[in-house]
Amino acid sequence: MINDDIEKTLKENKLGLSITDLVKKTNLSRGLIRTKIAFLLGAGLIIERQTGMAKLYFIAENKKWNHTMNF
């Protein structure tokens, strides 16, 4: 599922990834990644940090992923 792809990719990259990096690594569309990121941020499953001009996304370590949350 799409959330699983994003979760796996972010777990493999502990330094965080931008949306552009996620697009390249998952081969998903930018619009789909942006939509999923917004959902995951709202659910508290990932965190966002502004680094210069880029926003980097990381797995929120204190949250457990519920794999039934895929939409």
Whether this prediction's pTM lies above 0.95 is answered by: no
Cβ-based burial of 5 (10 A; exposed 0-12, middle 13-18, buried ≥19): middle
pLDDT at 71: 47
- Residue 33 vs residues 26, 38, 58, 62: alpha-carbon distances, Å: 9, 9, 14, 22
Q: Which two tokens stand for residue 16?
A: 């965080």
Average pLDDT, the chain: 87
Rounded to whole angstroms, the Cα distance separating 71 from 36 reads 9
The one-letter amino acid code at 37 reads: I
pLDDT at residue 28 tops 90 = yes
Which is nearest to 61 in space by CA: 7, 1, 6, 5? 7
Q: Which domains does the chain carry?
A: 2-63 (1.10.10.10)
pLDDT number for residue 48? 96
Judge whether residue 6 has pLDDT over 80. yes
- The larger pLDDT score, comparing residue 61 to residue 52, is at 52
